[in-house]
Structure 1
Amino acid sequence: MMNKLSLASLTLALSLSSLSGVAADLKSGIYELNRGQFKAAMAEFQPLLEEGYAPAQYQVAMMYKNGWGMRKSLQKSYELLSLAADQNYPDAQFELALMYTEGEPVEKNSKKAFELTKKAAEKGLASAQFNLGVMYAEGTGTYRDNRKAVREYEKAAKQNYALAQFNLALMHFEGKGTEKDIIQSYIWNIIASRNGYQPAESSRVLDERKLPVEEIKKAREEADSLYRNLLAQAEIRAKNSQ
Structure 2
Amino acid sequence: MTKLLVSVLIAAVCLPAGVVAASEPESLRQPAEEGATEDQYRYAAALEAAGQYKRAVRWYERAAGDSPEAALALAECLLDGRGTRADPVKAVALLKDASGAGLVRAQYLLGLQYQEGNGVGHDVEAAARWLGAAADSGHAGAQMRAGLMALNGVGMRRDAGIGLAWLRDAAHAGDETAQLNLGLFHLSGRAGVKQDDAAAARWFHKAAEHRNATALFNLGALYARGTGVDQDLVEAHKWFELARLAGDQTAGQARDQVGGALTPAGLRRSAQLVDAWLGERR
Which category describes the TM-score, using the shorter chain as reference length?
0.7 to 0.9
Q: Aligned-residue CA RMSD in angstroms?
A: 2.4
Give the 3-state SS of the residue equivalent to 2:250 in structure 1.
helix
Specify the structure having the higher radius of gyration (Cα). Answer: 2
CA distance in 1, matches of 2:151, 2:250: 25
**Higher helix fraction (1 or 2):** 1
1:122 corresponds to: 172
Paired letter, 2:133: L
> Do the aligned residues in 2 keep the contact of 1:111 with 1:142 (CA within 8 Å)?
no
* Number of residue pairs the alignment of both structures matches: 218
TM-score using structure 1 length: 0.81
1:177 corresponds to: 228
CA deviations on 1:49-94 (whole Å, 9 max, x unpaired) are 1321111111111101111011111111010011101101111111
CA distance in 2, matches of 1:223, 1:217: 10
Give the 3-state SS of the residue equivalent to 1:210 in structure 2.
coil
Match of 2:122 among 56, 65, 72: 72
User: Kindly tell me: are residues 106 and 43 of structure 1, through their superposed partners in 2, closer, same or farther at Cα, counting changes over 3 Å?
Assistant: closer
Give the 3-state SS of the residue equivalent to 1:198 in structure 2.
coil
Alignment of 1:24-173 (within 5 A): 26=72, 28-35=74-81, 36-42=86-92, 44-140=94-190, 141-173=192-224
Deviates more, 1:73-82 or 1:97-106: 97-106
User: Kindly tell me: are residues 26 and 211 of structure 1, through their superposed partners in 2, closer, same or farther at Cα, counting changes over 3 Å?
Assistant: farther
Structure 2: segments with no counterpart, 5+ residues: 1-15, 20-37, 46-67
Moved over 4 A (4+): 14-28
Structure 1: segments with no counterpart, 5+ residues: 1-13, 233-242
2:271 corresponds to: 220
CA deviations on 1:99-118 (whole Å, 9 max, x unpaired) are 12332223333343222211
- Cα deviation for residue 27 of structure 1 reads 5.1
- Cα deviation for residue 44 of structure 1 reads 4.6
- Cα deviation for residue 135 of structure 1 reads 1.3
CA deviations on 1:137-157 (whole Å, 9 max, x unpaired) are 122212111111111111110
1:237 corresponds to: none
